[in-house]
Amino acid sequence: MILTRLILMIISLVLSMASYAATYDESTFGDLSNDRLNPTEFTLNFGDIGPNGIAGNNVVSGVVGRNSSTVDRDYLHLIVPTGFTWSELRVGNQTQVGSTSSFIGLAAGSTMPVEPTTQSATGLLGFKLYNLNDRGLDILDDMAVSQNGSSGFSTPLSAGSYTLWIQELAPGNFNYRFNLILTPIPEPESYAMLIAGWGIISILSKRKLHNKKYI
């Protein structure tokens, strides 16, 4: 009876961690803001439990590039909720690049403090010039390195307010897709419950195998 209750509590705990992931696709919801002081709001959610552990997928897809003298930049504001960390920023396989200037930058707060024409990264937490070799990879650690004036940061990123800046200076239109992955921080009680529960299940499983061996 106690074991059954414990298993049910573990299942309930795991299910309570799962919710719907968020998606922002420019083709569906419209063009992301080109105004660094008024970025598009992108509400992050914790997603389903994946095969590699507990992680939340939040996908943003859009188009950047340069036409004539106009550069289409995308700015979005996001909040990592309390109880979670921002653990990965994966580049989607649909991502295209037009040059060595495919750029994604990250700043703290609800606006982008850096002018788009600046030659310095001062004011940014970090940035990355991404390319086709980054498809399918997590680039958050690359962005975390201090360079060209950016402050750098530690990963995973803690709960808080952040703004992303995405741009491509090559002529034409180029699709991008990024997956912002959140990971929950279980409370100490939850850790203890999960560890104890899985420990008991493991012991009982071994006992069953042992008994079957000698039957």
pLDDT in tens, 66-85: 998 899 999 999 999 999 99
Provide the pLDDT for residue 70. Answer: 92
Task: Give me the sign of the Cα torsion angle 116, 124, 110, 144.
Answer: positive
- The percent of residues above 70 in pLDDT, for the chain, comes to 72
Within the chain, strands assigned E span: 23-25, 40-42, 49-50, 53-54, 56-67, 70-72, 74-80, 84-91, 103-108, 126-129, 160-167, 172-184
pLDDT in tens, 143-189: 999 999 999 999 999 999 999 999 999 999 999 999 999 998 876 54
Distance, in Å, from the CA atom of 167 to the CA atom of 62, rounded to the nearest integer, reads 10
- The percent of residues above 90 in pLDDT, for the chain, comes to 63
In this prediction, residue 113 has a pLDDT band, given cuts at 50, 70 and 90, of very high
Provide the pLDDT for residue 4. Answer: 54
Q: How much is the average pLDDT of 97-125?
A: 95
In this prediction, residue 195 has a pLDDT band, given cuts at 50, 70 and 90, of very low
Average pLDDT, the chain: 81
In this prediction, residue 199 has a pLDDT band, given cuts at 50, 70 and 90, of low
Q: What is the pTM of this model?
A: 0.77
User: Alpha helices of the chain — where are they, by DSSP H?
Assistant: 2-17, 26-29, 140-143, 188-213
According to DSSP, residue 138 is labeled B
In this prediction, residue 125 has a pLDDT band, given cuts at 50, 70 and 90, of very high
In this prediction, residue 1 has a pLDDT band, given cuts at 50, 70 and 90, of low
